Amino acid sequence: MLFNQPEKYFFKNRKTIQLNGQLISLENPIVMGILNITPDSFFEGSRYNTENEIVGKAQQMIDDGATILDVGAYSTRPGADSVTVKEEVNRLDVAMTVLRKHFPDTAISLDTFRSTVAKEIIEKHGPCIINDISGGTLDPHMFHTVAELGVPYILMHIQGTPSNMQENPNYKDVFKETLLFLSERVAKLRELGVADIIIDPGFGFGKSLEHNYELLNRLDGFKILEAPLLVGISRKSMIYKPLGTDANEALNGTTVINTMALLQGANILRVHDVKEAVEAVKIVSWTKSTSKN
């Protein structure tokens, strides 16, 4: 059982992430802006392909307060087209060349579950955070690659694969099963010497609407892992389905749930709309600091 495992399976809550010799502070929550280099991401407003589009959106997100840019070249929405390793590398190579040229000091995470992609891009363009939606389940070499590269790793929970994860997600207890998965994977990473691990419960990845809200309501329970917590719910169906709208109309709902996540200890918000998320962080941080006085 999870709570009977040795102390080595847990780790101290780090207040910083180390990337390329620089420290990213987590004393206050930070915002990660989504930059999709794909033609088919679920939210049309997050797709950017030309150099001008990439530069323009990246500049906007940085100006709005994003600490990290999360760059993805393979849509993992249900029903998305498959992308070859070569195509994913080519898309990321173009984006990284542009970003390193115009924003050399900005922290970047690579949204990929392929170790070969992560390795090739990082060796060419320099250290990045690896944001793996599969928690290492789709590529058995990922954990060893992260350890070899010595970069931070975002460990996300998923049930199934992107192609089938929403067909019939099933849990006896979604919180406990997600927590157990994350704790076991953290242990493997720590044994390999990976120092900077961020956990992500994986909202929308192999979860029903009810599963997502159960995880949200028990989000503070992930504190037992003593790891930085990332929440990525931006414009997802768990927001717009109860409202009877769509992703284009989900900004207000996103802000509401981001605020709920911050109140339960989220350290990083992964979002399409940086300005609104940064404002939520500022208000929640101000409220918490005022309550201590």
> What is the four-CA torsion angle of 71, 30, 278, 283, rounded to 10 degrees?
160
Query: Locate tokens 């070859």: which residue?
Result: 84
Q: Amino acid letter at 270? A: R
Query: DSSP states of 129-153 as a string?
Result: EEEETTTTSS-TTHHHHHHHHT--E
Closest CA to 231 of 176, 204, 270: 270
Q: Which pair of tokens denotes residue 236?
A: 């997802």
CA 82 centroid distance within chain: 21
> What region does 72 belong to: left with phi over 0, alpha with psi -120 to 50, or beta?
beta
* Strand pairing class (107-111; 129-132): parallel
AA letter at 195: A
Q: Annotated catalytic sites, by residue?
A: 236, 270
Nearest residue to 203 via CA among 194, 192, 213: 213
